[in-house]
């Protein structure tokens, strides 16, 4: 019966991780160029139960659940026109390059602006890279030439937070930069809410299982302790 506590607890831990991922996705449902995550679970190996008296097979018993892997959906999303000349989106495959204090990072979030020197920067003030890894200059009329913005082909991109990714840049990206538009978020709020509700129900079921097992163990200890020797 104690094994049941561990099985239920492992399910709760897996659902907690899943809820964190879903909550983060929902918080970025309106973030331009955001890439949603997908979490999959797996079960630990089953134990084969048998009858100790007769040796007959009773059946398998699972040992709990765990997060198997977390993947990011990198597919390009639909673009929306904003009318802002410094809002950029990439049609097709590719990434914007941004020079940060930790090195070059890559992003699909093209909500850019201009700094005091007239350079194109992101919302955190980091320079957007142009052709030749040079800064992109904003003209006096507040526009830029989209062809001056570099588009990188990034292999094995990994999330780093703040819409940034790391990865190996190489080759030629096929995407084209479009001004006055932003790529939409990769989050489907309706789907994320349904998944979150399902995860909460699964956690509640595990909680009830733990409560039931704990109550049964308490009654067993009380009854056994009350038996006359």
Q: Is 68 helix (H, G, I), strand (E, B) or coil?
A: strand
Residue 47 has pLDDT above 50, yes or no: no
Q: Which tokens in the block code for residue 96?
A: 């914007």
- The average pLDDT across 163-192 equals 93
Mean pLDDT, to the nearest integer, of 58-77? Answer: 75
197 has a pLDDT exceeding 90: yes
Do 120 and 137 form a contact (C-beta atoms < 8 A)?
yes
pLDDT at 63: 63
Q: Give the model confidence (pLDDT) of 86-138 as tens digits.
A: 999 999 999 999 999 999 999 999 999 999 999 999 999 999 999 989 999 99
SS3 category, 96: strand
Asked if residue 153 has pLDDT above 90, the reply is yes
In the 8-state DSSP scheme, what is residue 168? E
Mean pLDDT in residue range 198-221 = 84
CB 72 within 8 A of CB 159: yes
Q: Identify the top-confidence range among 41-55, 187-201, 207-221.
A: 187-201
Q: How confident is the model at residue 44 (pLDDT cuts 50, 70, 90)?
A: low
| Percent of the chain with pLDDT strictly greater than 70 | 84
Question: Is the four-CA dihedral 102, 104, 107, 109 of positive or negative sign?
Answer: positive
Nearest to 110 by CA among 35, 183, 27: 183
Neighbours of 15 (CB within 10 A): 22
> Angle 216-221-224 (CA atoms, 0-180°, nearest 5)?
120
Q: Is 208 helix (H, G, I), strand (E, B) or coil?
A: helix
- Of 37-46, 128-137, 171-180, the one with minimum mean pLDDT is 37-46
Q: Which two tokens stand for residue 121?
A: 């920067």
Tell me the backbone φ, ψ of residue 120, rounded to 5 degrees.
Answer: -75, 125
If you average pLDDT over residues 137-162, what whole number do you get? 93
Residues 94 and 108: beta-carbon distance below 8 Å: no
Compute the distance between CA of residue 153 and CA of residue 217 in angstroms, rounded to an integer: 58
pLDDT value, residue 66: 67
User: 103 pairs with which residues across the strands?
Assistant: 100
pTM recorded for the entire structure: 0.78
The per-residue pLDDT for 17 is: 86
Identify which has the larger pLDDT, 18 or 107: 107
State yes or no: pLDDT of 1 exceeds 60.
no
Coil, strand or helix at 135: strand
pLDDT above 70: residue 145: yes
pLDDT tops 80 at residue 141: yes
Calculate what percentage of the chain has a pLDDT beyond 90: 59
**Would the pLDDT of 170 be above 80?**
yes
């Amino acid at each position: 019966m104690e094994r049941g506590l561990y099985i239920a607890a492992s399910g709760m831990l897996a659902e907690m991780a899943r809820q964190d991922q879903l909550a983060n996705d929902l918080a970025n449902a309106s973030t331009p160029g955001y890439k949603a995550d997908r979490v999959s679970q797996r079960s630990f190996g089953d134990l084969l139960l048998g009858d100790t008296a007769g040796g007959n097979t009773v059946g398998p018993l699972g040992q709990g659940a765990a997060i198997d892997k977390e993947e990011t959906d990198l597919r390009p999303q639909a673009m929306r026109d904003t009318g802002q000349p410094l809002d950029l989106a990439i049609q097709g495959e590719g990434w914007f390059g941004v020079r940060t204090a930790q090195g070059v990072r890559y992003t699909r979030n093209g909500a850019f602006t201009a700094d005091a020197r007239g350079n194109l920067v992101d919302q955190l003030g980091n320079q957007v890279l142009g052709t030749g890894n040079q800064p992109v200059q904003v003209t006096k009329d507040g526009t830029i030439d989209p062809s001056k913005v570099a588009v990188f082909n990034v292999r094995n991109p990994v999330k780093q937070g703040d819409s940034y990714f790391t990865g190996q840049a190489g080759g030629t990206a096929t995407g084209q930069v479009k001004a006055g538009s932003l790529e939409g978020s990769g989050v489907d709020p309706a789907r994320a809410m349904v998944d979150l509700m399902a995860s909460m129900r699964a956690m509640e079921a595990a909680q009830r299982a733990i409560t039931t097992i704990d109550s049964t163990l308490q009654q067993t200890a009380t009854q056994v302790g009350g038996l006359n020797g």
